[in-house]
Structure 1
Amino acid sequence: MRWTLKPKPSEEKIKHLAQALNIDEFIATLLIQRGIETFEQAKLFFRPSLNDLHDPYLMKDMDKAVERIEKAIEKGENILVFGDYDVDGTTAVSLVSSYLKTFYSNIATYIPDRYNEGYGVSYAGIDFADDNGFSLIIALDCGIKSIDHVAYAKERNIDFIICDHHRPGEFLPEAVAVLDPKREDCNYPYDELCGCGVGFKLIQALGQNRNQTIEDLSLYLDLVATAIAADIVPMTGENRVLAYFGLQVINSNPRPGIKALTHQIKKKTLDITDVVFIIAPRINAAGRIKHGNHAVELLSEFNFEQAQQFASEIEQYNSDRKDLDKQITKEALEQISENNEKERFTTVVFQEDWHKGVIGIVASRLIETYYRPTLVFTKSGDKYAASARSVKGFDVYNALEACSEHLEQFGGHMYAAGMTLKEENYLAFKNAFEKVVEETIHPDLLIPEITIDSEINFSDITPKLSRILKQFEPFGPQNMTPVFLTKNVKDTGYAQKLGTDNEHLKLFVRQNRSEGLAAIGFGLGNKITLTSDQKEFEAVYCIDENEWNDKVSIQLRLKDIK
């Protein structure tokens, strides 16, 4: 692990913000490190308001999208709401379809089959629309590169509205409207929305036509918050406002589907981490193991008993997903070892019978062992399909673009992407990808980095500090949980390993004469020797709360020790 201490802002900036907000200079420093330098920015950060959301009509083509939907409603056309099979896509489909159904009945949904149709807009989906009399398709979380598909639909007199957040190619599809804040000719003030976020902007615009306020639409924000958390988009600007209020809905009045997924959790208040690790994987499991339709059914169901039935089926899919993920990761690690590929700049593995639904998770697991850009391939029909994951600071999408001559299609983001290629192009692509990464990646990026906000002493850790840090939530990219460094730390003699494989570390630590603090280090079990015999060590950690028997105490969540 590389430990990198963030540079301290100038004393002038710190003093200015501390005085403006009447806060400690320490807290002012943490805020400036997050890009918050003025009273106004701090107000937006600490007191998010739904009124901070931008006018949806600032998004290019929003007027065209609304006009076409209103025309379809007026003429009694059938509208098909189409979306990808992951969390972002299924939440977006549930959001837009359930909103439209509140005032119009000719609405159906379509999620492509991960195995038979693959990612994004499919010809099978368009044929379904054609066979069943749909004249308008609203595509969510996909479609920005579907030039041929949209042309195919046009020949069948089917119009498209595209709501996407992925990077556009050189040309846009000839749809009635293309809503994507990443369009170069779109001046929308915030371009980091997820697909479900773009869907929310669409219903916000439709709602304005119906004299609905933003409060009237807030009941859909549990879906938007779930998508923001799952899609790992920046927790800044509009995303932070949507996630903040979405979490309130999840904790106070969630839709039956989300309530069914979370009602067994003992915690009083769920946070963004619970959404990432409890809600999102289960919604994702439907599309990975069975079909994304099951997730849309769950999220759109308004009868709690029925939602519980759907949730128990999805729980089983999630259990199957875990087993597959474990098995394939084991096989992939063996393959890397047998082929003696440990010295490469990339990890690229293939096995034709690997389950396509979990190769993305496996790619993330492999990065935990071999920290480098990773592709996991499997056979999909007569093609090879892969999921890509990247390391912090390296743009895997750009690397794929540089090798695109070997690919049939690809799409995605800086840190996650998907692609297909012909079997005969696999080795040429694998070598080209290795060459591109070797030539473009900085060697430091191949060592995992912990970014540290500040060095502090244990005496600085108080209930007041913990309360203030909680107000920094929700956390996510560009607003990560603050990380602290403390030196001259000793375990008081209670160090122990936890977990089925002794993979975790539990300590009770002190610095000098400070009061003892409980500390837990997930995955740090092998570092227990560093803490024995009253040896001093340095610890990097987040300040956490531990709930036990209705009592809440401060606990350190260790990230590393040296």
Structure 2
Amino acid sequence: MTNQWNFRTLTPDEQANSEQLARELGISHVLTKLLVIRGIKTFEEAKQFFRPDLSQLHDPFLMNDMDKAVERLNLALGRKEKILVYGDYDVDGTTAVALVYKYLQQFTSNLDYYLPDRYTEGYGISYKGIDYAAANGFSLVIALDCGIKAVDKIAYANEHNVDFIICDHHMPDEILPNAVAVLDPKRLDSTYPYPHLSGCGVGFKLMQALAINNQIDLSSAYQLIDFLAVSIASDIVPITGENRVLAHFGLKKLSTNPNLGLRSIINLCALNEKEISISDIVFKIGPRINASGRIQSAREAVDLLVTRDETFANTKCDCLNQYNETRKDLDKSITEEASQFLLNLEGFRDKKSIVVYHPSWHKGVVGIVASRLTELYYRPSIVLTLSNGLVTGSARSVPGYDIYKAIENCRDLLENFGGHMYAAGLTLKESNLEAFKHRFETFVCETITDEQLQMQLDIDCVIDFNEITPKFFRILKQFSPYGPENMKPIFCTRRVFDYGTSRLVGKDQEHIKMELVDASSENVMNGIAFRMGEFNDYLKAMNPLDICYTLEENNFNGNSSIQLLIKDIKIADSND
């Protein structure tokens, strides 16, 4: 393995906070260190962390323009105007459309939804979408998970008497579109206390504000909170603050009483008998929703998410599953092709970024391929293809590096771009491609650190096996849901030995099924180390290893036990 192990340490003030929390909460110093690492320093903050409550959600009217948005939406509902719910074609966009559409259905039947085509229209608000709204009598459009940079498009809409309420969470430019309202917690003049909402989250805040303004019980809005959990997990936004509350209750609803469309996906993935986690959404539920917009039409995903017909839901779910299988095949073949190109590229080993282009690559999967290349080579990666006469694609970054800023530095070479610190999209003319590659690589070289180009493993605590008690694990589970800025804690135990029963497993004997003891206790811990079979002989010879791992609950034949999921192994230093 090539991970750099980084051990988290506390400052003297943080250590004092940890000790104070240990006294007040009556829990181990290891757990209070985990709290302090997450910025939780007081008893009250810890109480809110361990006991999420919907009362902790912020007042939606703290968001800039929320009063204008609600006023215009009330006017449209009162006048029975036709309202179009418009959203991006990814998971965040489709869940946002589903949430807002299903909520507004209570009040009006003059309602429809629109998802732009990835291939003919591209990302965000399109002229074609505006023309559709104008031609079909929609006087108000609610744009979700897009629109923050659509200055020219909104001007065009205004000329055609189509009003827009923008609900976005991407980084804005200095000039905002001249819409009726621009809701975005990342606005430079934002007054909203939490900047990390998903696009679906901003749509939810609008529905929450509508309910409060009209003195409507919020329970009907909370019935849609499972859509929020799916968006938060899939869009990889921080699971802190308000997002953590929304994800907590959204996961509960997904596990107990999900909306029909989501339930059909859950059943297909055989998740209906378990408590659904963020990982289940990221690896199973989200990709199937996403596949619709990647391979066919994102409208099909929304059709599934809003349906009340179980037969239709099951049929449509099968379609999305097939799209996902197609997506997997494309993803695999293009990743292999791109990787082979890089390995043959002169000077590739010296470069600090990746920009690859092929005009025939499938536009729907270039973002996934960019993620794969980032994982393989640990560099900021951009994968581009040709669409509608323009080079277009997606960018993904390594932890700690802001790829959005790197792309923004090349904005004069681009036709369009947008996104976040770790993921972005861009479009440019083919004639500008070589200049873009050069300037992007130059900027990355000047701004990225050596540490950001090496796989890092941040270890929260060094512990002995005797500290892993049932009470410890029970409290640890309350740190979930896990995700960005609240990742599953990683522990290290030094000088562990084989208990005598560790063995190789797997089709090619590439994994180790471990039974381990450490020098400080008689606790025997079970663990699994995937793709680390090279350590087996050393371990079986009763040599000591240092391991880092997360703690998992292993359920087998109705019995539950604690298992180590090994993240990395190093041969123990004889001086330890």
The interval holding the TM-score normalised by the smaller chain is over 0.9
Counterpart among 252, 276, 279 of residue 282 in structure 2: 276
Residues 43-82 of structure 1: pairs in structure 2 closer than 5 A: 43-82=47-86
Counterpart residue number, 1:433? 440
Question: Is 2:10 the partner of 1:8?
Answer: yes
The separation in 2 between residues aligned to 1:494 and 1:288, in whole angstroms, is 47
- The answer for unaligned runs of 5 or more in structure 1 is none
Counterpart residue number, 2:574? none
**Cα 1:66–1:557, aligned 2, differ >3 Å: closer, same or farther?**
same
- The answer for unaligned runs of 5 or more in structure 2 is 571-576
Question: Is 2:488 the partner of 1:481?
Answer: yes
**Cα 1:496–1:362, aligned 2, differ >3 Å: closer, same or farther?**
farther
The separation in 2 between residues aligned to 1:368 and 1:479, in whole angstroms, is 21
Counterpart among 115, 125, 129 of residue 133 in structure 2: 129
Counterpart residue number, 2:569? 561
SS of residue in 2 equivalent to 1:345: coil
Question: Is 2:164 the partner of 1:157?
Answer: no
On the 8 A contact 2:296/2:323 being kept in 1, the answer is: yes
Cα distance, 1:503 vs. partner? 5.5
On the 8 A contact 1:50/1:214 being kept in 2, the answer is: no
**Cα 1:491–1:288, aligned 2, differ >3 Å: closer, same or farther?**
farther
Counterpart among 242, 247, 254 of residue 250 in structure 1: 254
Counterpart among 544, 547, 550 of residue 555 in structure 2: 547
The separation in 1 between residues aligned to 2:248 and 2:241, in whole angstroms, is 11
Aligned AA for 1:6? R
Question: Is 2:299 the partner of 1:297?
Answer: no
Question: Is 2:386 the partner of 1:383?
Answer: no
Cα distance, 1:170 vs. partner? 1.5
SS of residue in 1 equivalent to 2:248: helix
User: Could you list the per-position Cα deviations for residues 320-354 of structure 1 after superposition, in whole angstroms to 9, with x for gaps in the alignment?
Assistant: 11111111111111000111312210011111111
Residues 36-435 of structure 1: pairs in structure 2 closer than 5 A: 36-263=40-267, 264-265=270-271, 267-340=273-346, 341-435=348-442
Cα distance, 1:502 vs. partner? 5.8
The separation in 2 between residues aligned to 1:130 and 1:154, in whole angstroms, is 10
The separation in 2 between residues aligned to 1:316 and 1:365, in whole angstroms, is 21
Identity percentage over the alignment?
51
Aligned AA for 2:160? R
Counterpart residue number, 2:522? 514
Cα distance, 1:532 vs. partner? 4.4
On the 8 A contact 1:9/1:33 being kept in 2, the answer is: no
Aligned AA for 1:279? I
**Cα 1:318–1:494, aligned 2, differ >3 Å: closer, same or farther?**
farther
The separation in 1 between residues aligned to 2:296 and 2:345, in whole angstroms, is 33
The separation in 1 between residues aligned to 2:563 and 2:375, in whole angstroms, is 25
User: Could you list the per-position Cα deviations for residues 210-251 of structure 1 after superposition, in whole angstroms to 9, with x for gaps in the alignment?
Assistant: 322333321110000110111111111100010011011111
Counterpart residue number, 1:30? 34
The separation in 2 between residues aligned to 1:298 and 1:527, in whole angstroms, is 47
On the 8 A contact 1:83/1:141 being kept in 2, the answer is: yes
The separation in 2 between residues aligned to 1:498 and 1:374, in whole angstroms, is 34
The separation in 2 between residues aligned to 1:467 and 1:508, in whole angstroms, is 22
Aligned AA for 1:18? A
User: Could you list the per-position Cα deviations for residues 60-104 of structure 1 after superposition, in whole angstroms to 9, with x for gaps in the alignment?
Assistant: 111111111111112221111000000100000000011101111
The separation in 2 between residues aligned to 1:494 and 1:378, in whole angstroms, is 51
On the 8 A contact 2:89/2:117 being kept in 1, the answer is: yes
The separation in 2 between residues aligned to 1:232 and 1:487, in whole angstroms, is 32
**Cα 1:428–1:528, aligned 2, differ >3 Å: closer, same or farther?**
farther
The separation in 2 between residues aligned to 1:205 and 1:314, in whole angstroms, is 33
User: Could you list the per-position Cα deviations for residues 388-425 of structure 1 after superposition, in whole angstroms to 9, with x for gaps in the alignment?
Assistant: 00000000000001111211111000000000111111
**Cα 1:267–1:525, aligned 2, differ >3 Å: closer, same or farther?**
farther
Cα distance, 1:527 vs. partner? 5.0
Cα distance, 1:258 vs. partner? 1.0
Cα distance, 1:458 vs. partner? 1.3
SS of residue in 2 equivalent to 1:145: coil
Residues 529-544 of structure 1: pairs in structure 2 closer than 5 A: 531-544=539-552
**Cα 1:501–1:394, aligned 2, differ >3 Å: closer, same or farther?**
farther
Cα distance, 1:13 vs. partner? 1.8
The separation in 1 between residues aligned to 2:252 and 2:193, in whole angstroms, is 25
The separation in 2 between residues aligned to 1:280 and 1:373, in whole angstroms, is 23
Counterpart among 490, 494, 498 of residue 497 in structure 2: 490
Cα distance, 1:311 vs. partner? 0.9
On the 8 A contact 1:72/1:78 being kept in 2, the answer is: yes
Cα distance, 1:9 vs. partner? 4.5
On the 8 A contact 1:84/1:120 being kept in 2, the answer is: yes
**Cα 1:525–1:399, aligned 2, differ >3 Å: closer, same or farther?**
farther
The separation in 2 between residues aligned to 1:96 and 1:509, in whole angstroms, is 51
SS of residue in 2 equivalent to 1:545: strand
Cα distance, 1:262 vs. partner? 1.0
Counterpart residue number, 1:461? 468
On the 8 A contact 1:336/1:342 being kept in 2, the answer is: no
On the 8 A contact 2:17/2:42 being kept in 1, the answer is: no
**Cα 1:115–1:510, aligned 2, differ >3 Å: closer, same or farther?**
same
On the 8 A contact 2:77/2:107 being kept in 1, the answer is: no
Deviates more, 1:465-474 or 1:258-267: 258-267
Cα distance, 1:372 vs. partner? 0.7
SS of residue in 1 equivalent to 2:356: strand
**Cα 1:18–1:433, aligned 2, differ >3 Å: closer, same or farther?**
same
**Cα 1:336–1:16, aligned 2, differ >3 Å: closer, same or farther?**
same
What is the root-mean-square deviation of aligned Cα atoms in Å? 1.6
Q: TM-score, normalised by structure 1?
A: 0.97
Aligned AA for 1:557? L
Cα distance, 1:204 vs. partner? 0.2
The separation in 1 between residues aligned to 2:244 and 2:552, in whole angstroms, is 21
Cα distance, 1:491 vs. partner? 3.2
The separation in 2 between residues aligned to 1:87 and 1:182, in whole angstroms, is 20
**Cα 1:234–1:288, aligned 2, differ >3 Å: closer, same or farther?**
same
On the 8 A contact 2:234/2:282 being kept in 1, the answer is: yes
